[in-house]
C-alpha cells in the first residue's frame, strides 16, 4: 500500500509503447470488465487497442496501491460530461480522485484524495496543431501573446496553453462544455502561470493550482488540482510498467502557479 493524504498528488507515467510482453498484456486483459473489453475491440488499430488495454489496466492496478481493492473489482461511473470516477466497492470513507490522459507513447494517471484534479499530456513531436486554431478557441489575450512570439516558438507555446486548458476543464469535470475562450492563462515570468476566469463560469482562479513539466523532451504534461490548503501539495512522480515495476522519477517543473 502507498500512503496518500491531501498534502500529496501522485502522478504515474507509463511509456506504453515499451510494453510488449504477451503474457503481461494477457494479464492486463484479464483485469478488464466486459464493457472495457468490448470498448477495446472497437479500436481498428492494434496500437490503439494496446494503449487502451494498458490504460485501463494501469488505472485498476495503480488504484489498488491505495486501497484494499483487487484490481479487477474496481467499478467506475461517468458523470453527464463523460468524466470517470470510482465507485468505492468496499465503502472507504476517503474518496480517491483520479484523472488520466494519454498521447502517442505515454499514459499519465494522476491520483489524489478528496481533491478534484485534471491532467493532460501531449506528444509535441507527434502532434502538429495549426496555430490558427488558437484564434478560434483561445481567449483574445492568449491569441495576442501567442502571435507576438517568433514563429519558431509558437508551436510550443500553443501546447503550453492547450495542456493547461485541458487540465482545467478536466479538473472541473465538465470537458468542452466549458468554452475555452472564457478562461485564460498568462505567463508572468519564465516559470510562472496565472489563471483568469470569466464570471459566467461560476468559478474563481484561487480555487486551483497548476504545474507543468516534461518527463522527456517530446512530452508536455500539465496538472490542475483543487486548492485545499495554503501550502502547496507535493507532486510525486513515478514511472511504471503496471503490475510489474515502478520507480520514483524526478520532475523539473517548467511552470507552477502561486
* Domain covering 8-256 in this structure, CATH number: 3.90.470.20
Instruction: Please say whether the beta carbons of 123 and 13 come within 8 A.
Output: no
Strand residues in the chain grouped as ranges (E): 8-14, 75-78, 84-87, 96-103, 106-113, 117-123, 183-186, 194-197, 208-213, 219-226, 234-241, 245-249, 253-256
Cα–Cα distance for residue pair 134/154, rounded to 1 Å: 11
Report the percentage of the chain scoring pLDDT > 90.
81
Cell of 68: 484494499
Task: Categorize the per-residue pLDDT at 189 as very low, low, confident or very high, splitting at 50, 70 and 90.
Answer: very high
Phi, psi of 223 (to 5 degrees): -125, 135
Cα–Cα distance for residue pair 155/251, rounded to 1 Å: 22
More confident residue, 258 or 233: 233
Cell of 81: 460530461
Residue 100, CA distances (Å) to 90, 136, 167, 194 in order: 23, 26, 10, 23
Cα–Cα distance for residue pair 145/106, rounded to 1 Å: 29
Map out the domains of the chain as residue ranges.
Answer: 8-256
> Strand pairing partners for 9?
235
What pLDDT shows up at residue 88?
66
Report the percentage of the chain scoring pLDDT > 70.
97
Instruction: Please say whether the beta carbons of 209 and 228 come within 8 A.
Output: no
Distance spanning both ends of the chain, measured CA to CA: 31
Task: Categorize the per-residue pLDDT at 1 as very low, low, confident or very high, splitting at 50, 70 and 90.
Answer: confident
Instruction: Please say whether the beta carbons of 20 and 105 come within 8 A.
Output: no
What pLDDT shows up at residue 230?
77
pLDDT digits (tens, 9 = 90+) for 17-64: 999 999 999 999 999 999 999 999 999 899 999 999 999 999 999 999
What pLDDT shows up at residue 93?
44
What pLDDT shows up at residue 94?
57
Average pLDDT, the chain: 93
Strands 8-14 and 234-241: parallel
Mapping DSSP to helix (H, G, I), strand (E, B) and coil, where does residue 180 land? helix
Cα–Cα distance for residue pair 205/94, rounded to 1 Å: 26
Cβ-in-10-Å burial (0-12, 13-18, 19+) of 247 comes to exposed
Q: Of 74, 72, 99, 98, which is closest to residue 87 (Cα–Cα)?
A: 74
Cell of 38: 468490448
Taking residues 175-201, report their average pLDDT. Answer: 95
Taking residues 76-101, report their average pLDDT. Answer: 79
Residues whose CB is less than 8 angstroms from the CB of residue 48 and which lie 6 or more positions away in sequence, other chains included: none
pLDDT digits (tens, 9 = 90+) for 151-184: 999 999 999 999 999 999 999 998 889 999 999 9
What pTM did the predictor assign? Answer: 0.95
Reported as half-sphere exposure (CB side, CA atoms, 13 A), residue 64 has a value of 16
Residue 237 has pLDDT above 80, yes or no: yes
Amino acid at each position: 500500500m502507498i500512503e496518500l493524504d491531501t498534502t500529496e498528488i501522485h502522478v504515474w507515467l507509463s511509456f506504453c509503447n515499451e510494453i510488449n510482453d504477451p503474457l503481461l498484456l494477457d494479464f492486463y486483459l484479464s483485469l478488464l470488465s466486459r464493457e472495457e473489453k468490448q470498448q477495446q475491440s472497437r479500436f481498428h488499430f492494434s496500437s490503439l487497442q494496446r494503449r487502451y488495454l494498458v490504460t485501463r489496466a494501469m488505472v485498476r492496478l495503480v488504484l489498488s496501491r491505495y486501497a484494499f481493492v483487487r484490481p479487477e473489482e474496481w467499478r467506475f461511473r461517468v458523470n453527464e460530461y463523460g468524466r470517470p470516477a470510482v465507485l468505492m466497492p468496499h465503502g472507504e470513507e476517503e474518496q480517491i480522485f483520479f484523472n488520466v490522459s494519454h498521447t502517442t507513447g505515454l499514459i499519465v494517471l494522476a491520483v489524489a484524495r478528496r481533491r478534484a484534479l485534471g491532467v493532460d499530456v501531449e506528444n509535441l513531436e507527434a502532434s502538429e496543431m495549426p496555430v490558427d486554431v488558437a484564434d478560434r478557441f483561445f481567449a483574445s489575450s492568449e491569441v495576442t501573446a501567442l502571435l507576438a512570439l517568433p514563429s519558431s516558438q509558437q508551436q510550443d507555446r500553443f501546447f503550453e496553453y492547450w495542456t493547461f486548458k485541458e487540465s482545467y476543464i478536466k479538473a472541473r469535470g465538465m470537458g468542452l462544455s466549458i468554452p475555452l475562450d472564457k478562461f485564460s492563462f498568462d505567463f508572468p515570468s519564465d516559470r510562472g502561470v496565472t489563471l483568469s476566469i470569466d464570471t459566467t463560469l461560476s468559478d474563481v482562479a484561487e480555487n486551483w493550482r497548476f504545474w507543468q513539466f516534461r518527463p522527456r523532451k517530446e512530452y508536455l504534461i500539465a496538472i490542475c488540482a483543487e486548492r485545499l490548503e495554503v501550502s502547496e501539495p507535493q507532486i510525486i512522480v513515478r514511472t511504471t510498467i503496471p503490475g510489474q515495476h515502478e520507480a520514483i522519477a524526478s520532475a523539473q517543473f517548467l511552470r507552477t502557479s502561486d
